Structure 1
Amino acid sequence: MSLQAPLVLELATIDDIPAITELWFTVFNDPGMRHLMPDTPGVRQWMTEANLYDMQQKPYQKYIKIVDPTTKDATGQPRLAAYAKWDLSMPNQRGPRFPPWHADQPSQDCNAFFGKLEEDRKRVMGDRKHYYLDMLGTHPDYRGRGAASALVKWGCDIADREGDGAYVDASKAGAPLYQRYGFVDFSDPATPGDTASMGRL
Structure 2
Amino acid sequence: MPLELSQVTDPSDFKQIMPVDYDAWQTPYNPQLKHFRPNLPTRAESIAYATAKNTKKLLENDPNRFYLKVTDTDTHVVVGCATWVINQMNENGDGKTEAYWHPEGSEEREFAECFIDGLWGFLAERVTRKHMDLHSIVVHPSHRNRGAGRMLVRWGTNKADELGIETVISSLPSARGAYERSGFGCIEVIPPSPRLKKRLDELEGEGKGFKWRELLEEDLSGWLMWRPVGRDWIEGEDVAPWKS
The 1:103–1:141 alpha-carbon spacing in structure 2 relative to 1, beyond 3 Å, is same
* Partner of residue 227, structure 2: 200
* Partner of residue 90, structure 1: 88
Provide TM-score, normalisation by structure 1.
0.80
* Partner of residue 22, structure 1: 19
Instruction: Name the CA distance, whole Å, in 1 between partners of 2:223 and 2:190.
Output: 10
Matched, 1:52 2:55: yes
Instruction: Name the CA distance, whole Å, in 2 between partners of 1:142 and 1:172.
Output: 21
Instruction: Name the CA distance, whole Å, in 1 between partners of 2:110 and 2:163.
Output: 37
* Partner of residue 137, structure 1: 138
Instruction: Name the CA distance, whole Å, in 2 between partners of 1:6 and 1:62.
Output: 23
Alpha-carbon shift at residue 82 of structure 1 (Å): 0.2
Instruction: Name the CA distance, whole Å, in 2 between partners of 1:86 and 1:117.
Output: 18
Map residues 93-132 of structure 1 onto 2, 5 A cutoff: 100-103=99-102, 106-126=108-128, 128-132=129-133
Contact 1:46 1:102 in 2 (8 A): no
Instruction: Name the CA distance, whole Å, in 2 between partners of 1:92 and 1:195.
Output: 17
* Partner of residue 32, structure 1: 31
The 1:186–1:84 alpha-carbon spacing in structure 2 relative to 1, beyond 3 Å, is same
Alpha-carbon shift at residue 150 of structure 1 (Å): 0.5
Instruction: Name the CA distance, whole Å, in 1 between partners of 2:100 and 2:50.
Output: 10
For the aligned residue pairs, the C-alpha RMSD in angstroms reads: 2.8
The 1:50–1:107 alpha-carbon spacing in structure 2 relative to 1, beyond 3 Å, is same
Alpha-carbon shift at residue 84 of structure 1 (Å): 0.4
Letter of the structure 2 residue corresponding to residue 172 of structure 1: P
Alpha-carbon shift at residue 69 of structure 1 (Å): 1.8
Contact 1:121 1:167 in 2 (8 A): no
Corresponding residue to 1:66 among 70, 89, 102: 70
Q: Could you say which structure has the larger radius of gyration?
A: 2
After TM superposition, the structure 1 stretch with the greater mean CA deviation from structure 2, 86-95 or 49-58, is: 86-95
Deviations 1:37-76 (A, max 9, x none): 42435544432222112211123110011011222xxxxx
Unpaired segments of 5 or more residues in structure 1?
72-77
Helix, strand or coil at the partner of 1:70: coil
Instruction: Name the CA distance, whole Å, in 2 between partners of 1:112 and 1:100.
Output: 10
Alpha-carbon shift at residue 99 of structure 1 (Å): 7.8
Map residues 3-14 of structure 1 onto 2, 5 A cutoff: 5-12=1-8, 13-14=10-11
Helix, strand or coil at the partner of 2:20: helix
After TM superposition, the structure 1 stretch with the greater mean CA deviation from structure 2, 104-113 or 53-62, is: 104-113
Unpaired segments of 5 or more residues in structure 2?
193-218, 229-244
After TM superposition, the structure 1 stretch with the greater mean CA deviation from structure 2, 14-23 or 190-199, is: 190-199
Letter of the structure 1 residue corresponding to residue 49 of structure 2: W
The 1:140–1:70 alpha-carbon spacing in structure 2 relative to 1, beyond 3 Å, is same
